[in-house]
Structure 1
Amino acid sequence: MDAVVVGAGPNGLAGAVTLARAGLKVRVYERDERAGGGAATRELTLPGFAHDVCSAVHPLAFASQFFDAFRLRERVEFATPAVSFAQPLDGGRAGVAYRDLDATANGLGRDGRAYARLMRPLAERATHVAEFTGSTLLRIPRHPLTVARFGLSAAEQGTPLWNLRFRGEAAPALLTGVAAHSILAQPSLAGAGAGLTLTAYAHAEGWPIPVGGSQAIIDALVDDLRAHGGELVTGHDVTSLDELDDARVALLDVTPRALVRMAGGRMPARYRRALSRFRYGDAVAKVDFALSEPVPWTHAEVRRTGTVHVGGTRAEMAFAENEVHGGRHPERPYVLVSQPTLFDPSRAPAGAHTLWAYTHVPAGSTVDRREAVTAQIERFAPGFRDTIVAVGSRTAAEVAAHNPNYVAGDIAAGAPDLRQLLRRPTLSADPWRTPLPGVYLATASASPGPGVHGLAGWHAARSALRHEFGVREAPDLSPGGGAS
């Protein structure tokens, strides 16, 4: 066997596909009974209701260099709402982020021009933004002016100066609702960077939803792997590198903590110490709803979007996120909501709907947050409780038990703060390569970090091809291309 990949999530499969396209014999091991990882879709409430287990909406599917090379949009059907995301506010108000930046600005009143001035340079250069945020930040950027503009914007929105350009509540709430995806204290430089990146994508090509669920992305990767001679072995938990000795290369979609355990005495002491300093962040609690009808949001435009950030004003969300960062469970939490069946009715029985929700909690939390999440949605959608048919809820501890890469419920597989974006998991221009012969990290714990983009696996595979096989040209990943 030329190569073995451990983990059949987006990163592991991206690495496996890249190696298989280069003509290598590849086998993937997955501890679960079905591939998916962070992009799995399962029945979590009632039969016939398909819920995304982790990721649900995929702006990175259109921005990722790997998925662009893989031609994901030719393999998977996506629905892209005209309203990328929305932020309901009390009194029936809302901030609404349309794909059309001008329409968004027009809806923000006196803050519209300020919002457009902030976002237009990044949205118009979204491919440049994707390029430099999609790899290790230690590399020299090809578009330094875009990077400089991005850095200045992040410095503004990631510090206490973040309200200087705004006068109302809707525009800053829109930005903080996206920045809070990072599960970091607010404001923060890394949180602002993540928020600006995702908001730029929202106004460039939108936030797409895969028809059939996130599993459709995984299935496309698995199909391509098999079409090029690769194997997928499910229900197989690899616990030691000793099990992989027959392979010339091992790509591991695992955390640094798991790598230390798997390597045992093989790992050099210096690298072990470096990995032991890798920090894991705050966590999520997940709540899934089966509904009899769509959520009755007070603001009509919130009923037209795939993604809703529920938490009120910028100040309210910052307070809630900072409570979590301090080890507490806020009474009024920030809640990230996806309503996919508005655009993909195949995920529920006729007339019914699924609703996906996350809220942030301290690492390792065992607190069930279904009531707090329900109350926050009800706050902006009176009558929501009456639509609920069934609820599936997981605490952070249960999220971690389901997927060991989510240490203590950290779905980012490592705190994505500024220091750990530079040292992910170590300070290196090639952070995917380990000092263990033939062993590479293909995980969200490595650059460029969390998200369904496949980039960590792609970069790890390309590094392995260079160093282990002398292959410097990236293989053709397009449909019909590559070795077979």
Structure 2
Amino acid sequence: MGIEKQYDAIVVGAGPNGLAAAITLQRAGKSTLLLEGAEDIGGGLRTKELTLPGYRHDVCSAIHPMAMASPFFRTLPLKDHGLELLFPEIAAAHPLDDGSAGLLYQEWSKTQEHLGKDAGAYRRLIRPVVDNWESLADATMGPLRFPKDPLGLASFGLNALQPASWIAKRFSTAQGKALWGGMAAHGIQPLSNFTTAAIGIVLSAVGHRYGWPVPKGGSQSIAKALLSYYNTLGGDVQTGFWLEDVRALPKHDVLILDLTPKQLLALNGVEWSNSYRRQLERFTYGMGVFKVDWALAEPTPFKNGHTRQAGTVHLGNTFAEIAENEWRSSKGRHVQQPFVLFSQPSLFDHSRSPEGKHVGWAYCHVPHGSTQDMTAAIESQVERFAPGFKDTILATHTFNTRELQVYNPNYIGGDINGGLMNLAQLYTRPTLSLTPYRTSKNNIYICSSSTPPGGGVHGMCGFHAAKTALYDHFEIKP
């Protein structure tokens, strides 16, 4: 590499978790080098002109409820480093064929009023998590450990460990059931799986507690703010360096890798123990995604007026339809009316597109490693709830699962969660360990979304990995 300096720690991968690990180490007074294979930092936090000049698209993540809910991110002065977050009043909408919609307002009372007959069921499920998020976040956004509020965690766990399909039976209206199904479907697995209720509960709760913000200027703004703060701490950065052999790295005491198990197994210059290697080989990846970005002539003309005001839109009609199609996709089938996650950030952030124009962002779940073009299916699903949408399209850019993996090698087979987040891999990822950030090498750690708490822009995987390394090697207690 041509770097002669010796570091206390090297972090490989400058996505949100790698950045979080590097910041945590640097804040503890350790000299840190952050390495990134691409020419710019960010990982899943990048914004580019993918379609036409002047149209800025979020390449991966677009809406960031977990960034606001992250105990680690909330300790950082990111606003002082240029980050501005915009908050749609309606965080998420779920339109139905009949023209109605399930709506998640950031304001609790408006969601309750909207849900009508389902307000009580929703309140009993979500309100305790809204009120007790700080203690629950401490217990759930990391490795297994004894909670500060065991009774609160037990109450949350009784619901969170259930299949989303069981929870759906508590709702009586099509709108309430659909809103719940769209939330739970963010878990990218069949809604009949155990623990699928967890993601639905958490996303709904943090939507009320913090909102589902849109970063002004695009998701890259979060990465830029993190990097700016890291730079003020004195950390070093080098981009354009793909790690293939750990022996090529500068001298260091600790190495933290923002990589998934498949990439760990491919590294040269390190011999994992047989037990650790076997566990990495058994690690299961989940469904992939097919993503579309559009340059649009005008806002998306959803039939439901409230949906036109939402930052995120879930397209899949009823709970039953979503559940059926997610199950089919998990079994290796391509469906004609997939569940689609759609974002319309330019409604709130006018810097994303030329004056009067807009951008659209969407993906659907597909079988792992699929190369099938789902553009027509996704556009038809949007058109289903927004007649005339296809006529607004000026240009299109797509990613299939293989292209996503080339863009970001952590997205194995298009899996953006770093591995299936089912009951077997919710906390025991990537290995069965109370400290899964440790590897079989005593100075090498893993901080990717393949560790707890899994996928999402929250930095907690990197934070916990760095804290573990600080304790192990520098006797700095968490």
Does structure 1 residue 372 correspond to structure 2 residue 386?
no
Q: 1:65 aligned to 55, 68, 71, which one?
A: 71
Specify the SS of the correspondent of 1:412: coil
Shift of 1:264: 5.2
Aligned equivalent of 1:140: 146
Task: Give me the TM-score of the superposition, normalised by structure 2.
Answer: 0.96
Aligned 1:35-46 pairs, distance under 5 A: 35-46=41-52
Q: 1:208 aligned to 193, 204, 213, which one?
A: 213
CA–CA distance in structure 2, aligned partners of residues 42 and 36 of structure 1: 12
The runs of 5 or more residues in structure 1 that have no matched partner are: 474-484
- Between the two proteins, what is the percent identity of the paired residues? 46
Asked if 1 retains the 8 angstrom alpha-carbon contact of 2:11 and 2:256, the reply is: yes
Aligned 1:299-314 pairs, distance under 5 A: 299-314=304-319
Moved more, 394-403 or 111-120: 111-120
Asked if 1 retains the 8 angstrom alpha-carbon contact of 2:247 and 2:269, the reply is: no
CA deviation digits over 1:319-363, x for unaligned, max 9? 110110110011100000111111111011111111110100000
Aligned 1:209-228 pairs, distance under 5 A: 209-228=214-233
- Rate the CA distance shift 1:160–1:384 in 2: closer, same or farther, 3 A: closer
Does structure 1 residue 282 correspond to structure 2 residue 291?
no
Does structure 1 residue 123 correspond to structure 2 residue 130?
yes
- Rate the CA distance shift 1:228–1:27 in 2: closer, same or farther, 3 A: same
Moved more, 19-28 or 313-322: 19-28
Asked if 2 retains the 8 angstrom alpha-carbon contact of 1:102 and 1:116, the reply is: no
Aligned equivalent of 2:333: 328
Aligned equivalent of 2:25: 19
Specify the SS of the correspondent of 1:91: coil
- Rate the CA distance shift 1:159–1:230 in 2: closer, same or farther, 3 A: closer
- Rate the CA distance shift 1:161–1:226 in 2: closer, same or farther, 3 A: closer
CA–CA distance in structure 2, aligned partners of residues 117 and 249 of structure 1: 45
Aligned equivalent of 2:119: 112
Aligned equivalent of 2:34: 28
Asked if 2 retains the 8 angstrom alpha-carbon contact of 1:370 and 1:393, the reply is: yes
Aligned equivalent of 1:481: none
Q: 1:184 aligned to 189, 200, 206, which one?
A: 189
Specify the SS of the correspondent of 2:44: helix
Aligned 1:154-173 pairs, distance under 5 A: 154-155=160-161, 158=163, 160-173=165-178
Aligned equivalent of 1:478: none
CA–CA distance in structure 1, aligned partners of residues 274 and 34 of structure 2: 28
CA deviation digits over 1:121-173, x for unaligned, max 9? 2222222332222111x2111112221221222355x1653343222101111
| Residue type of the alignment partner of 1:253 | D
Aligned equivalent of 1:415: 420
Aligned equivalent of 1:343: 348
Aligned equivalent of 2:395: 390
Asked if 1 retains the 8 angstrom alpha-carbon contact of 2:18 and 2:448, the reply is: yes
Aligned equivalent of 2:4: none
Moved more, 111-120 or 416-425: 111-120
CA–CA distance in structure 2, aligned partners of residues 277 and 161 of structure 1: 29
CA deviation digits over 1:298-337, x for unaligned, max 9? 1111111111001101001111101101100111000001
Moved more, 158-167 or 36-45: 158-167
CA–CA distance in structure 1, aligned partners of residues 121 and 231 of structure 2: 50
| Residue type of the alignment partner of 1:39 | L
Asked if 2 retains the 8 angstrom alpha-carbon contact of 1:86 and 1:174, the reply is: yes
Task: Give me the TM-score of the superposition, normalised by structure 1.
Answer: 0.95
Aligned equivalent of 1:401: 406
Moved more, 424-433 or 283-292: 424-433
Shift of 1:33: 0.8
CA–CA distance in structure 2, aligned partners of residues 84 and 145 of structure 1: 30
Asked if 2 retains the 8 angstrom alpha-carbon contact of 1:61 and 1:72, the reply is: no
Moved more, 220-229 or 6-15: 220-229
Does structure 1 residue 9 correspond to structure 2 residue 35?
no
Specify the SS of the correspondent of 2:112: helix
CA–CA distance in structure 2, aligned partners of residues 457 and 175 of structure 1: 30
CA–CA distance in structure 2, aligned partners of residues 419 and 246 of structure 1: 37
- Rate the CA distance shift 1:16–1:159 in 2: closer, same or farther, 3 A: closer
Specify the SS of the correspondent of 2:314: strand
Shift of 1:246: 1.3
CA–CA distance in structure 2, aligned partners of residues 18 and 373 of structure 1: 40
